[in-house]
Structure 1
């Protein structure tokens, strides 16, 4: 343990010294109250006595800015408008035609693709912005009503802004590629081929707060507002469905759960929300991941959420601060999994024993728990029968709760584990989406 940790620290220290600039024109520091930590364990004390703190850690706000994602180089994704508060949530701030670069990723003809930047809201309720790519197919819509829209929360699962659909579809496929993206594009192609418009929100928000459900819900809902406002004649009266799997499922599920409180005017617009392999109990999943092969994802999520809730950084030790300020803060999803090879528990980066069981962690888990809300749209939930990462029982519990509150819902246990479940659940999911977008009444199997 001692030797392997020392090697990891040496690598991270070397990487961090290479450094990259902080996010362009970052937002005000979101100072939130914290909970005092218990004294560190002997291991944690040894780590802090062995690993020197990065210089930037001397100032709390400077440390937070140092863990933000590096600028992508694209102003529409990087720059924070000075007058954000003057915009209404979902109001379009900027729009850019990105048809040529999006078309290069498609297997079906498209009429146009637009990168939208719009006002949104942070996880702590302050003005923020969001981005989303709106793709209109060349194929005509032959169903009832206006052309419908699939709001697809692709699993971004990343820390770097360049990893988002917004960056990838507005730049050359060879420009900072995210190798995960092509895996999920067939669902986009299928939707476009049916005449559906597709809206791809960058649901981690501008701080790339992977798995922060409040941020995800706000960006998703504001992207719908933005699409309707950008093309009012074409999409202003359309039906919308939110869909996502795994990291994207967090966004799709949160969209339905926060719809009534954040965007009540969209209650008749969002025809349904589908989430596969969804995390609903953060405490349970954190314990499931901790110290195992999936610990790299837990580390990635913790660093990402600290961008919206920097009080997390107050409970980290020097080792974690080196990790958070190193180039790892810009990795895409394909890199977070391999970080778990060493299977280090989250405890080695904290300053208190059993951090996942602390009062501080309990407060955070409560902020991310949406199970006390009632979905304002019909639900379709599905889960791999043998998912080793995200407990099947958590999703089943939420389904029963929502049914008891009168929400029309369907639940499917599909063959396979977490990754295979994405494939095996696709066919029936697609039929459910088509029904919602054609205006067919949502089935309920409660």
Structure 2
């Protein structure tokens, strides 16, 4: 049966959902509908007929020298540990915490230094999910990050109360799993650059498995993430067969994933919206990652450039507030807006394709559980099409559409099932599929 037809309609019991009472509120402020529309049109306006690009606006570097790349960074291989430090773990009772700086690669294969946070529960493997490898299961969880400042990265927000989804990580820790939480936006907080997020995720897994104090060298790996974190998760899975084929990834759980930001943009009107700032920020993030190809500054009007400067080092709350109820017409010059909405610039198409799972040619080999709300603002039809392509390529796919759920509520209902799915993969049970 085709994946688009074989959709589970199993009802979810709210009592089995994550105890995070603030998750729905958190996700309502990060709807991908506005994000993707603004990204595509903002980039298009910045690219169409653009002269040689001006410099992208980068964030203030993290003042903590732990994050700084060494002069000999090019001598490290992808996933090599550069330095590490123990950290306190408030909110994760009994867990040991480490932060690891490692070498990764940006979207143009240049070496970068990226960070990840590793949580290890007390005791031995402590889990019946260890499987034949005998090692403690390792979950790499990619959080939803919608920020431009380096201080907003998961290695900071995981412990200071800013990452409201962090409470959910107590579920895998309680199962005895180690949890890896990468700063998947990279050292320039390139919000929106999903391919970069996939590479950083894979290299973070390499790093923590090589990190001797953690004893994870024989651990099997599971990936999980929702929405923007689901994009990084999905790209990690799709890139792994070529970028990191040695990693023993046994399962992937991704939810609420915008699989093609260009197509979704065409479905959304360019009208003022409370969350306009998020999409505008994602365009800035992609401009950072593709510096020299994207030129926003020359296409923005005065208020647009002022907004760009204002949020260049901001976390999500300030970004939302600064951009509330604006539209493309409020921040771009009229000629740029018209050109951006009417022309299919080949550079724009390439950038969007490179960061959209639907158009990325790589296919995951690891089994996938993908969940999506039936009423999600992110087009469920595109998710079904992606699942169908993966099925056709031989990837075991379990696609579940959550009845009545939108983007804000699907995460609460799907995440416990995602952890159960990965538990079965760690235990070596056959992967279910509705392909």
CA displacement at 1:272 relative to structure 2: 1.4
Q: Which residue of 1 aligns with 2:271?
A: 291
Query: Normalising by structure 2, what TM-score?
Result: 0.80
CA displacement at 1:379 relative to structure 2: 1.1
Residue 428 (str. 1) matches residue 409 (str. 2): no
The answer (yes or no) to whether the contact 2:102–2:207 under 8 Å persists in 1 is yes
Q: Give CA deviations for 1:147-186 in whole Å, capped at 9, x if unaligned.
A: 001100011111111111212347xx3xxx63xx0x2112
Query: In terms of mean alpha carbon deviation, does 144-153 or 432-441 score higher?
Result: 432-441
The answer (yes or no) to whether the contact 2:47–2:295 under 8 Å persists in 1 is no
Tell me: CA distance 1:377–1:335, structure 2 relative to 1, closer, same or farther (3 Å).
Answer: farther
The answer (yes or no) to whether the contact 1:130–1:219 under 8 Å persists in 2 is yes
CA displacement at 1:217 relative to structure 2: 0.7
Secondary structure at the counterpart of residue 98 of structure 2: strand
The answer (yes or no) to whether the contact 2:59–2:148 under 8 Å persists in 1 is yes
> Which residue of 221, 230, 242 maps to 1:261?
242
CA displacement at 1:113 relative to structure 2: 0.8
> Which residue of 79, 91, 111 maps to 1:105?
91
Tell me: CA distance 1:347–1:83, structure 2 relative to 1, closer, same or farther (3 Å).
Answer: farther
CA displacement at 1:339 relative to structure 2: 4.6
Q: Which residue of 1 aligns with 2:382?
A: 394
CA displacement at 1:286 relative to structure 2: 3.1
The answer (yes or no) to whether the contact 1:299–1:346 under 8 Å persists in 2 is no
The answer (yes or no) to whether the contact 2:116–2:181 under 8 Å persists in 1 is yes
Aligned pairs (5 A) from 1:87-236: 87-98=76-87, 100=88, 103-106=89-92, 108-110=93-95, 112-140=96-124, 141-143=126-128, 144=130, 145-169=134-158, 173=160, 178=162, 181=163, 183-231=164-212, 234-236=215-217
Residue 379 (str. 1) matches residue 368 (str. 2): yes
Return the alpha-carbon distance in structure 2 between the equivalents of residues 262 and 39 of structure 1: 33
Tell me: CA distance 1:405–1:333, structure 2 relative to 1, closer, same or farther (3 Å).
Answer: same
> Which residue of 233, 237, 240 maps to 2:221?
240
CA root-mean-square deviation: 2.5
Query: Normalising by structure 1, what TM-score?
Result: 0.78
Q: Which residue of 1 aligns with 2:324?
A: 341
The answer (yes or no) to whether the contact 2:154–2:183 under 8 Å persists in 1 is yes
The answer (yes or no) to whether the contact 2:47–2:348 under 8 Å persists in 1 is no
The answer (yes or no) to whether the contact 2:59–2:149 under 8 Å persists in 1 is yes
Tell me: CA distance 1:89–1:312, structure 2 relative to 1, closer, same or farther (3 Å).
Answer: same
Q: Give CA deviations for 1:389-423 in whole Å, capped at 9, x if unaligned.
A: x1111111100110011000111111421111111
Q: Which residue of 2 aligns with 1:409?
A: 397
Q: Which residue of 2 aligns with 1:439?
A: 428
Return the alpha-carbon distance in structure 2 between the equivalents of residues 36 and 297 of structure 1: 19
Return the alpha-carbon distance in structure 1 between the equivalents of residues 170 and 363 of structure 2: 32
Q: Which residue of 2 aligns with 1:332?
A: 315
Q: Give CA deviations for 1:192-225 in whole Å, capped at 9, x if unaligned.
A: 1111000000111111111211110111000110
Secondary structure at the counterpart of residue 191 of structure 2: coil
CA displacement at 1:241 relative to structure 2: 0.6
The aligned length equals 374
The answer (yes or no) to whether the contact 1:347–1:354 under 8 Å persists in 2 is no
Q: Which residue of 2 aligns with 1:313?
A: 295
Return the alpha-carbon distance in structure 2 between the equivalents of residues 279 and 133 of structure 1: 25
The answer (yes or no) to whether the contact 2:46–2:294 under 8 Å persists in 1 is no
CA displacement at 1:60 relative to structure 2: 5.9
